[in-house]
Amino acid sequence: MNVEWEKLVARKSDLIEKRFFSEKFNDRALLIGALTRNAFLNDHLDCDELKNNGTQDRFHTLGDTILDFIIFDHFAQKSKESPEIRYSPEQLNKFREIYGKNEHLHTFSKNVIELQRYVIWGSDEKAKKRWVESDWILGDLFEALIGAIYIDKGLDGVNIFVGTIKFFENMDKLFSPENRTDV
C-alpha cells in the first residue's frame, strides 16, 4: 500500500473521528471516500488506492435516503412520545423537505459542524474555497458522510452521529419557522 495514501487516511480519519465519533471507523477508507471530492482524485490520478476507493459520489445517494429515514423516524418518535402530537403524512413530508433540503444541509455543515475542514478538496477547490461560493457542496458531502457511517456502523451509528452533532436542534436554530420562507 502507498505510504502517502496511508498517511492521508490516518490523518484525515483521526481528525474527524476525534471530533464526531467515540470510536474509530471499522473501515476508514469508507470515511475517506465520503469526504473526497472528485477534483482531488483528478489531482492525484497516479494514486491507485484513491481511484479504487472512490469519492463522495459513491455514498451520496445512500446517505440522502438514510437521512430521509432519520428525519421521518425522528418526527414519528416525537408523535409516539407525546400523544398530543400527531403529524399528518403531509407534515412529515414537509419536515423531510426542510431538514433534508440541500441548501439547509450545506449551511448547517458549513456553520455548525465546519465540515469543510475535514473534506479532501482538489487543490483548485481548496484555493478558491468552493464551499463559500456554493450553496450545495457541503450538503452533498454531509449526505455522503451519512452514507459512509451507515455502511460502517449501521443505523445506530447514524443515530449516534446525528445526536452528537445535535442535528435537529441546530437545524431548528438555523431554520426556525420565523426564518423559513418554505413553510
What pLDDT tens digit does each residue of the chain (183 aa) get? 577 777 878 888 898 999 999 889 999 989 999 998 888 777 765 667 766 777 778 899 999 999 999 999 999 888 778 878 888 889 989 999 999 999 999 999 999 999 999 998 888 888 888 888 888 999 999 999 999 999 999 999 999 999 999 999 999 999 875 544 444
Residue 166 — left, alpha, or beta (φ > 0 → left; ψ -120 to 50 → alpha)?
left
CA 105 – CA 169 distance, rounded (Å): 13
* Dist. CA 91–CA 98, nearest whole Å: 10
Per-residue b or e along 62-81, where b marks 16 or more CB atoms closer than 10 Å to that residue's CB? bbbebbbebbbebbeeeeee
Q: What is the pLDDT of residue 136?
A: 92
138 and 56 Cβ atoms separated by less than 8 Å: no
What is residue 126's predicted lDDT score, i.e. its pLDDT? 84
Note the pLDDT of residue 95: 93
d(CA 145, CA 118): 11
DSSP-assigned beta bridge partners for residue 36: 120
Predicted local distance difference test score (pLDDT) of residue 131 = 86
pLDDT value, residue 45: 57
**pLDDT for position 44:** 66
Residue 114: the pLDDT is: 96
Could you identify the residue written with the cell 458531502?
141
SS3 for 98? helix
**Model confidence, pTM:** 0.89
Through-space distance between the first and last CA atoms of the chain, rounded to whole angstroms = 51
* Side chain identity at residue 111, one-letter code: N
* Residue 120 bridge partners (DSSP): 36
Q: Measure CA 24 to chain center.
A: 17
pLDDT at 41: 76
Domains and CATH numbers, the chain: 3-179 (1.10.1520.10)
Distances (CA, A) of 158 to 9, 111, 129, 143, 181: 21, 20, 28, 11, 29
Task: Report the amino acid identity of residue 1.
Answer: M
- What residues pair up with 136 in beta bridges, in sequence order? none
- Burial tier of 86 (Cβ tally within 10 Å: 0-12, 13-18, 19+): exposed
